[in-house]
Protein backbone atom coordinates (compact mmCIF):
# COMPACT_ATOMS: atom_id res chain seq x y z
CA UNK A 1 0.00 0.00 0.00
CA UNK A 2 1.45 3.38 -0.94
CA UNK A 3 1.50 6.01 1.76
CA UNK A 4 1.31 9.78 1.59
CA UNK A 5 1.96 12.49 4.16
CA UNK A 6 -0.09 15.68 3.90
CA UNK A 7 1.26 18.34 6.26
CA UNK A 8 -0.83 21.47 6.71
CA UNK A 9 1.24 24.12 8.48
CA UNK A 10 0.01 26.57 11.08
CA UNK A 11 0.22 27.54 14.74
CA UNK A 12 -1.75 25.93 17.54
CA UNK A 13 -4.02 27.96 19.81
CA UNK A 14 -7.32 29.80 19.36
CA UNK A 15 -5.61 33.15 18.71
CA UNK A 16 -4.14 31.70 15.48
CA UNK A 17 -7.23 29.79 14.29
CA UNK A 18 -8.36 30.69 10.76
CA UNK A 19 -5.66 33.30 10.22
CA UNK A 20 -3.83 33.63 6.91
CA UNK A 21 -0.77 31.88 8.41
CA UNK A 22 -2.95 28.90 9.43
CA UNK A 23 -4.45 28.15 6.03
CA UNK A 24 -2.44 24.91 5.98
CA UNK A 25 -4.40 23.71 9.03
CA UNK A 26 -7.69 24.73 7.39
CA UNK A 27 -6.89 22.81 4.18
CA UNK A 28 -5.81 19.75 6.21
CA UNK A 29 -9.08 19.94 8.17
CA UNK A 30 -11.12 20.18 4.95
CA UNK A 31 -9.31 17.23 3.36
CA UNK A 32 -9.71 15.01 6.45
CA UNK A 33 -13.37 16.01 6.87
CA UNK A 34 -14.19 15.19 3.23
CA UNK A 35 -12.70 11.70 3.60
CA UNK A 36 -13.98 10.86 7.08
CA UNK A 37 -10.67 11.35 8.92
CA UNK A 38 -10.66 12.36 12.57
CA UNK A 39 -7.72 14.18 14.12
CA UNK A 40 -6.17 12.83 17.31
CA UNK A 41 -3.38 14.42 19.27
CA UNK A 42 -0.26 12.36 18.56
CA UNK A 43 3.46 12.96 18.91
CA UNK A 44 4.38 16.45 17.60
CA UNK A 45 1.12 16.76 15.63
CA UNK A 46 -2.62 16.32 15.44
CA UNK A 47 -2.98 13.42 13.02
CA UNK A 48 -5.74 11.82 10.97
CA UNK A 49 -5.34 8.73 8.78
CA UNK A 50 -7.51 8.30 5.70
CA UNK A 51 -7.75 5.25 3.39
CA UNK A 52 -8.43 6.16 -0.24
CA UNK A 53 -8.51 3.63 -3.09
CA UNK A 54 -5.74 1.44 -1.69
CA UNK A 55 -3.64 4.33 -0.44
CA UNK A 56 -3.02 5.43 3.13
CA UNK A 57 -2.95 9.19 3.61
CA UNK A 58 -1.50 10.48 6.88
CA UNK A 59 -2.65 14.06 7.48
CA UNK A 60 -0.81 16.09 10.10
CA UNK A 61 -1.12 19.51 11.65
CA UNK A 62 2.14 20.03 13.57
CA UNK A 63 1.70 21.10 17.20
CA UNK A 64 5.29 22.39 17.32
CA UNK A 65 4.39 25.91 16.15
CA UNK A 66 5.28 27.00 12.63
CA UNK A 67 9.00 27.57 13.21
CA UNK A 68 9.58 23.92 14.24
CA UNK A 69 7.27 22.25 11.70
CA UNK A 70 10.18 20.22 10.33
CA UNK A 71 10.39 18.15 13.53
CA UNK A 72 6.84 16.87 13.04
CA UNK A 73 7.19 16.31 9.29
CA UNK A 74 10.47 14.38 9.72
CA UNK A 75 9.12 12.31 12.62
CA UNK A 76 5.94 11.19 10.79
CA UNK A 77 7.75 10.66 7.50
CA UNK A 78 10.19 8.30 9.25
CA UNK A 79 7.55 6.72 11.52
CA UNK A 80 5.24 5.84 8.61
CA UNK A 81 8.10 5.16 6.14
CA UNK A 82 6.86 7.67 3.57
CA UNK A 83 8.93 8.55 0.51
CA UNK A 84 10.04 12.15 0.08
CA UNK A 85 8.08 12.46 -3.18
CA UNK A 86 4.88 11.39 -1.38
CA UNK A 87 4.91 14.33 1.01
CA UNK A 88 2.84 17.44 0.36
CA UNK A 89 3.27 20.50 2.58
CA UNK A 90 0.54 23.17 2.52
CA UNK A 91 1.54 26.74 3.42
CA UNK A 92 0.45 30.35 3.13
CA UNK A 93 2.29 32.46 0.54
CA UNK A 94 2.39 36.26 0.59
CA UNK A 95 4.22 36.39 -2.76
CA UNK A 96 1.10 35.00 -4.47
CA UNK A 97 -2.16 36.91 -4.87
CA UNK A 98 -5.26 35.59 -3.13
CA UNK A 99 -6.62 34.14 -6.39
CA UNK A 100 -3.67 31.76 -6.96
CA UNK A 101 -2.38 28.38 -5.81
CA UNK A 102 1.09 27.17 -6.73
CA UNK A 103 2.18 23.53 -6.61
CA UNK A 104 5.91 22.82 -6.81
CA UNK A 105 8.02 19.65 -6.53
CA UNK A 106 10.81 21.56 -4.74
CA UNK A 107 12.14 25.05 -4.13
CA UNK A 108 13.46 27.47 -1.56
CA UNK A 109 11.71 28.39 1.67
CA UNK A 110 11.34 31.97 0.32
CA UNK A 111 11.61 33.24 3.89
CA UNK A 112 8.76 31.03 5.17
CA UNK A 113 9.81 29.78 8.63
CA UNK A 114 7.76 26.58 8.38
CA UNK A 115 9.39 25.60 5.07
CA UNK A 116 12.81 26.59 6.40
CA UNK A 117 12.32 24.25 9.37
CA UNK A 118 11.30 21.37 7.06
CA UNK A 119 14.29 22.06 4.81
CA UNK A 120 16.61 21.84 7.84
CA UNK A 121 14.97 18.67 9.20
CA UNK A 122 14.92 16.82 5.85
CA UNK A 123 18.27 18.29 4.69
CA UNK A 124 16.78 18.97 1.26
CA UNK A 125 14.55 21.41 -0.61
CA UNK A 126 13.26 18.60 -2.85
CA UNK A 127 9.84 17.94 -1.37
CA UNK A 128 6.46 18.91 -2.86
CA UNK A 129 4.64 21.94 -1.50
CA UNK A 130 1.34 23.66 -2.20
CA UNK A 131 1.53 27.42 -1.69
CA UNK A 132 -1.82 29.06 -0.97
CA UNK A 133 -1.73 32.70 -2.07
CA UNK A 134 -2.76 35.06 0.74
CA UNK A 135 -1.72 38.29 -0.99
CA UNK A 136 0.51 41.02 0.40
CA UNK A 137 -1.90 43.86 1.05
CA UNK A 138 -0.11 45.29 4.09
CA UNK A 139 1.94 48.41 4.89
CA UNK A 140 5.73 48.16 5.02
CA UNK A 141 6.92 46.45 8.19
CA UNK A 142 3.51 44.93 8.96
CA UNK A 143 4.02 41.47 7.43
CA UNK A 144 3.78 39.57 10.75
CA UNK A 145 0.56 41.34 11.74
CA UNK A 146 -0.86 40.69 8.26
CA UNK A 147 -0.21 36.93 8.15
CA UNK A 148 -1.49 36.54 11.72
CA UNK A 149 -4.69 38.43 10.90
CA UNK A 150 -8.01 36.85 9.95
CA UNK A 151 -9.58 37.03 6.49
CA UNK A 152 -11.84 39.96 5.68
CA UNK A 153 -15.53 39.37 4.92
CA UNK A 154 -14.78 40.19 1.27
CA UNK A 155 -11.98 37.60 1.10
CA UNK A 156 -13.80 34.74 2.82
CA UNK A 157 -15.84 33.39 -0.14
CA UNK A 158 -12.69 33.08 -2.27
CA UNK A 159 -10.70 31.57 0.61
CA UNK A 160 -13.39 28.95 1.23
CA UNK A 161 -13.59 28.14 -2.49
CA UNK A 162 -9.80 27.88 -2.77
CA UNK A 163 -9.69 25.68 0.33
CA UNK A 164 -12.01 23.18 -1.38
CA UNK A 165 -9.95 23.45 -4.58
CA UNK A 166 -6.82 22.72 -2.50
CA UNK A 167 -8.48 19.50 -1.32
CA UNK A 168 -8.94 18.56 -5.00
CA UNK A 169 -5.28 19.41 -5.65
CA UNK A 170 -4.24 17.01 -2.86
CA UNK A 171 -6.42 14.26 -4.36
CA UNK A 172 -4.96 14.89 -7.82
CA UNK A 173 -1.42 14.89 -6.38
CA UNK A 174 -2.11 11.46 -4.86
CA UNK A 175 -3.88 9.87 -7.83
CA UNK A 176 -2.42 11.50 -10.96
CA UNK A 177 0.95 12.75 -9.70
CA UNK A 178 2.55 16.13 -9.26
CA UNK A 179 3.42 16.92 -12.90
CA UNK A 180 -0.10 16.65 -14.27
CA UNK A 181 -1.56 18.38 -11.22
CA UNK A 182 0.90 21.29 -11.54
CA UNK A 183 0.02 21.93 -15.18
CA UNK A 184 -3.66 22.07 -14.24
CA UNK A 185 -3.57 24.14 -11.06
CA UNK A 186 -0.70 26.62 -11.47
CA UNK A 187 -2.26 28.56 -14.34
CA UNK A 188 -5.73 29.01 -12.77
CA UNK A 189 -6.88 32.34 -11.41
CA UNK A 190 -9.59 31.43 -8.93
CA UNK A 191 -12.75 33.53 -8.82
CA UNK A 192 -16.09 33.20 -7.03
Catalytic residues: 21
Give the integer Cα–Cα distance in Å for 25 and 22. 5
Q: Would strands 45-52 and 40-42 be described as parallel, antiparallel, or unpaired?
A: antiparallel
Buried b (16+ CB within 10 A) or exposed e, 152-169: eeebeebbeebbeebbeb
**Alpha-carbon dihedral of residues 94, 97, 99, 103, nearest 10 degrees?**
-60
Give the integer Cα–Cα distance in Å for 170 and 100. 15
Q: In what order do the strands lie in the sheet with 101-104?
A: 40-42, 45-52, 55-62, 2-8, 87-93, 129-133, 101-104
CB atoms within 10 A of CB 72: 25
Give the integer Cα–Cα distance in Å for 118 and 73. 7
Helices (H), strands (E): how many in the chain? 6, 7
At 143, give phi and psi (nearest 5°).
-60, -45
Amino acid sequence: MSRYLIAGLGNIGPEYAHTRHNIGFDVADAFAAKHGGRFKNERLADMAVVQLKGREIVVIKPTTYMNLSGRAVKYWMDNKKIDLGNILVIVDEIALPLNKLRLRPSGSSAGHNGLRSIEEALVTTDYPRLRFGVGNNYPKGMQVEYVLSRWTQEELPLVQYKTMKSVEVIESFIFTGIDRTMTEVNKIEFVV
